[in-house]
Chain A
């Protein structure tokens, strides 16, 4: 299979797709002003080709912040794309679509991946999708787009998740999740007084969450919002840690970028040696896949900001580009199987 990446910083879709021929699956990363226009134009250019899209920044070796980007697969791919609608309330209503698409693509855990762009209520969406994917052992990577709308097969949907089931006919696929944080101290909290709908974390070990965070890190209310780059929360799930960013302070509670539930076990994280960790991921991918056809990644917006602040983003993208055909987009949250995480990188590698 082959991966195509085209972009236009001015938002000219024609420029972005000028080298694209006979695609079998297309991903569109557009801007909030031109999204509908781009979706329609793309469908017109490649009618009937499975496609998904969202509003977000794309990258190859540079991040395109307000233009348009197209990532497409060809020569050895079977794909199907569709949406689950009403994600804020009942995405399960449309679950049969996913079951049928998986049936149609006919892949297995070895060669098939599900890529999704979500418009919101990510945790619920991932739970719902996972009920189907887990039966076949198919992995999922994806991210959250902006403006609560996505596209699939030439049509824009509000309050939906667009997914593409992609089967590599020329080899294996494997997904990765990269965490550049590690546990701070030996703090371990049980979350309570949470508001799932509004992603509110009320208390940690029975004490107001804001005060706990401030007491440990010695920061003011204002500093909490920027401190999340250095010290986000981590939700423990068995041996895995899912990063949770802090969005805002609400009274004595903390509003997060992902839902927190009563009985969630949380830890405090601190930024690790991110350069060593990213190099290690690249090394691991090289070990797992000596020959790589395509790599599609989703980097968190906060990671992008953090790396940019540290003048590391360019280096990071260049290092990733050294793997071969690497492209991706900057998400507002990252998806890895049934886990919705923040401040992470998830990716899928096609052999």
Chain B
């Protein structure tokens, strides 16, 4: 019944019943496991390097963001400084307004003084006219005194002719003559006083005129100063306009900066997401190393186990 069939050799039977293939599998698994561990070391190292490199990127991005924040602060400072223009303009405008107000008061006071001068001038004219009238009257009085003197002389002559009878009359004529002389003398004194008054009035009038002229010049200067103040105010308003332009440019820049920062915030979020993934991958790597240890611990038991079983076979 054994025709056509080869008898199996005892060594072959031993080989077929041997647990060596299990050992071979265990050995191969161990080799694979070792290779896997080597690859894992390399992978973890690469992941570590990626993590480090990315940490550098995140750090750089953080520094860039800090710079952007500093830039934003600089813009804010420029804007703040530019706003000081407005404060200066306000201070200038207030000072100018106060000065203008004081000048207006000065102008009004000058006008009142001018009016007073006019009134004084008129009063002087009236005074001069009165003086001239007094002078005319005094001339008439002197003339009357001269005529009275002539009459007194004539009366004395007539009294002398009348002799004794005219003695008393001569006395009267002498007294009249004396009165005429005294009147004339008084008129002379009055005339001298009036001349003095006229001279002083003329000087006063001349000074009033000079003062009026000076007052007029002051009014002109006040007008010029008012004009200067207007120009100062306009210039200050111009500074405000510049400040407004600066503020506008800064606002635009800040908006652009904000856009840039938002962009970096989004980038940072994405960076963080990458960091989380790297950390997760790294954490998974560490659990894998524990699993490798478990695998190694289990596989390492197969060879002694097989040898132990083979001893029993």
Contacts and interface: CB of A to CB of B under 8 A. Distances in A.
Contacts of B308: 90, 93
A238 B296 CA distance: 19
Interface in A238-265: 238-239, 259, 261-265
A9 B298 CA distance: 41
A90 B282 CA distance: 32
Contacts of A127: 293-294, 297-298
B57 interface: no
A328 to B, nearest CB: 26
A192 to B, nearest CB: 6
A92 B298 contact: yes
A305 B65 CA distance: 50
Contacts of B290: 237-238
Contacts of A265: 44, 282, 285-286, 289
B287 A238 contact: yes
Nearest to A186: B55
Interface in A66-105: 86, 89-93
Nearest to A265: B286
A123 B282 contact: no
Interface residues of B, number: 27
B40 interface: yes
B27 to A, nearest CB: 16
A264 B289 contact: yes
A90 B305 contact: yes
Interface residues of A, number: 29
Contacts of B45: 190, 205-206
A124 interface: yes
Nearest to A89: B304
A262 to B, nearest CB: 5
A261 B300 contact: no
Interface string A258-281: 010111110000000000000000
Contacts of B305: 90, 92-93
Contacts of A261: 37, 289, 292-293, 296
A86 B307 CA distance: 13
B48 interface: yes
A151 to B, nearest CB: 23
A253 to B, nearest CB: 16
B172 to A, nearest CB: 146
Interface of A: 86, 89-93, 123-124, 127-128, 130-131, 188, 190, 192, 196, 205-206, 236-239, 259, 261-265, 338
Interface of B: 37-38, 40-41, 44-45, 48, 282-290, 292-294, 296-298, 300-301, 304-305, 308
